[in-house]
Amino acid sequence: MAQKATGRPRPTTSRLEIGEHSIDRVEPKEHDDGTWWLTWTIRLTDGRTRRPRTKGRTKTEARRRAKDKAKELLAASRSDIWKVADDLVSYMEKVSKPAIETAKLATNSRDRYLLVYKLIVGGCLREDHKHSRSLKGHTIGTGTRFRALERCLVEIAELHGSETAHQARSVLGKYVLDQLIRDELIDASPIAGKRLDLAGSKGDTPTRGGVALSADEWNAVIDYLLALDPAEGIEPPKRGMYTLEDRIAVAANAIDLTLLQTMTGLRIGEATNVDPSMVTFDGDEMIFDLPPEITKTKKGRFVHVTDPAIVARFKPRWEIARAKGGPLIPSPAKPGVVWDQRQRNEAVKTLYLKMAEELDIPALETERSHVWRATLNTLTLGAGVPEAIRTAHLGHTAQVNRRSYTDTRDGAVLARKLSGLRTSKSTPKSTQSESSPVSPDEPS
């Protein structure tokens, strides 16, 4: 090998370790203009070498600048290479979280996954419990052992429910463990294919839902609502731009919305998005033709209402909405637009709490509008309505062809069964405008 012109022994050329540089090995060279150039090598964390050249007015300055540059290069490549002893949560922040953020997911799913991601890394903000089994504090080595993962997931199941735990497992699998495999830090997912008990303590006692009212309670609610004066107990606002009428309109909205739901089991989001064009009146019957875009499942369906009192109640609403535009049960203050979820839920809550007390139905303390789905399903089950009809009516089967006559007849069957169950105390109000029963959109 050729010796340098200086005559000094050539410095070692031993292989640089990861993160090591040759700044102190090599000798700066004086350039024509009097500056000192240092050409050095560094092995980055991913194993590749870089060969930068640094300049300075003196040898020392060139070296100092080179070392700054070396630090910079190492910091930039730091995330590429991880060791088993590295902090697992740091790895997840650097690799897993961005992977979720850039994955091809619907916004809903991404948000959900980022939420459970936080649970996994011990970022739960709840103050009434602690995640002592989160992956926080674990190294990649310890945190990827079966027991550590299992404990983390079981704890999430205990504290946040089984479905959240399942989602956490998905996130762990695809965005943590799979990434670790790709970075050659583990060979395989320790929890893949393993059975984990993620039922959680609250598994069979959901905080809300799964409760059905009895037929008596159901009837009592309907009679109560039909008789209820929306103005009852409403105080006028002390100040501000809103009027007593606005407040009454809110209460009236809640009453009618609930009435509709007691009869149809419509989801609240579906019920408040119903447009008059989706409703036709056929004699004593009111038929909702729910298009896919307003249902949760994005599948349309027909829902019939035959109770005369309810139909009579909705006829004026339908006429107003059809004339002025806007949903059947619109925003109370702005009839042209959909009722805001925040306001709507507040109004519904107020009404349900009132009913819980006045009708002595404790379930309504906690249950909200979803209770009617369970109630209708249970009651009609008891009345012998086949499951296929019930599920189609409530809109949670995939196979229903919403335009078929079958579906229509199915809906009517259920509605007739319902009216058979109904023991009305209030006499149906006459529906004067029934004289023109022809639907406006379907002149057939």
* DSSP label of 234: P
Segment near DNA (CB under 7 A); pick from 28-36, 218-226, 345-353, 432-440: 345-353
Q: Which long-range contacts (CB under 8 A, 24 or more apart) does 325-333 make?
A: 326/275, 327/272, 327/273, 327/274, 327/275, 328/274, 328/275, 328/276, 328/279, 329/253, 329/256, 329/257, 329/260, 329/271, 329/272, 329/274, 332/246, 332/249, 332/250, 332/252, 332/253, 333/242, 333/246, 333/249
Query: Rounded to whole angstroms, what are the CA distances from 105 to 19, 172, 223, 392, 440?
Result: 37, 16, 46, 29, 41
Instruction: Give the list of residues 6+ apart from residue 23 with CB closer than 8 angstroms, or none.
Output: 38, 40, 63, 66, 67, 70
Q: Which run of H or of E encompasses 392? A: helix 387-394
Q: Which stretch binds DNA (CB under 7 A): 37-45, 222-230, 326-334, 414-422?
A: 326-334
Q: Which residue has the tokens 């006559």?
A: 405
**Strand pairing category for 53-56 and 36-39:** antiparallel
* CB nearer DNA, residue 81 or residue 374: 374
The separation between CA 400 and the C-alpha centre of its own chain, rounded to angstroms, equals 25
Among 45, 144, 167, 264, binds DNA (CB under 7 A): 167
Q: Does 29 bind DNA (CB under 7 A)?
A: no
Does residue 99 belong to the site contacting DNA (CB under 7 A)? Answer: no
Binding-site member from 1, 125, 227, 323 for DNA (CB under 7 A):
125
Q: Does 102 bind DNA (CB under 7 A)?
A: no
Interaction of residue 237 with DNA, rule CB under 7 A: yes
Residue with tokens 């704890």: 155
Residues 183-202, interacting with DNA (CB under 7 A):
202
Strand duo 53-56 + 49-50: pairing: unpaired
Any contact of residue 109 with DNA (CB under 7 A)? yes
> Residue 109 CB: number of other CB atoms within 10 A?
14
Q: Which of 6, 14, 102, 108 binds DNA (CB under 7 A)?
A: 108
208 contacts DNA (rule: CB under 7 A): yes
**Contact between 35 and DNA per CB under 7 A:** no
Instruction: Give strand pairing partners of 36.
Output: 30, 56
Cβ neighbours around 233 below 10 Å, total? 9
Minimum CB separation of residue 344 from DNA in Å reads 8
DSSP E strands, 263-354: 279-282, 285-290, 301-305
Report if residue 215 touches DNA, rule: CB under 7 A. Answer: no
For position 378 contacting DNA by CB under 7 A, the verdict is: no
Verify binding: residue 253, DNA, rule CB under 7 A: no
Q: Using the rule CB under 7 A, is 299 a contact of DNA?
A: yes
Please report whether residue 268 would count as binding DNA according to CB under 7 A.
yes
Calpha distance 130→110 (Å, rounded): 24
Nearest CB to DNA, comparing residues 81 and 199: 199
Least separation, in Å, of the C-beta of 245 and DNA?
A: 11
Q: At what angle do helices 244-264 and 308-324 cross, to 10 degrees?
A: 130
What is the CA 13 to chain-centroid distance, rounded? Answer: 58
Interface pick for DNA out of 39, 90, 277, 345 (rule CB under 7 A): 345
Q: Which of 70, 348, 355, 385 binds DNA (CB under 7 A)?
A: 348
* Least distance (Å) between residue 405 CB and DNA: 21
Instruction: Give CA torsion, residues 301, 305, 311, 316, to 10 deg.
Output: -10
Q: Which of 126, 130, 182, 403 binds DNA (CB under 7 A)?
A: 126
97 counts as binding DNA under rule CB under 7 A: no
If one asks whether residue 410 binds DNA (CB under 7 A), the answer comes out as no
Q: Would you say 280 or 295 has its CB closer to DNA? A: 295
Our finding on whether 98 is near DNA (CB under 7 A) is no
* Given 73, 81, 95, 115, the residue binding DNA (CB under 7 A): 115
Rounded CA gap, 394 and 288, in Å? 12
Q: How far is the CB of 158 from DNA (least distance, A)?
A: 10
Choosing from 42, 133, 134, 161, the residue that interacts with DNA (CB under 7 A) is 161
The size of the interface with DNA (CB under 7 A), counted in residues, is 67
Question: Amino acid identity, residue 217?
Answer: E
Interface ranges with DNA (CB under 7 A)? 103, 105-110, 112, 115, 118, 124-126, 159-164, 166-167, 169-170, 173-174, 202, 206-210, 237-242, 246-247, 267-270, 296-299, 331-334, 337, 340-343, 345, 348-349, 368-370, 373, 394, 396-398
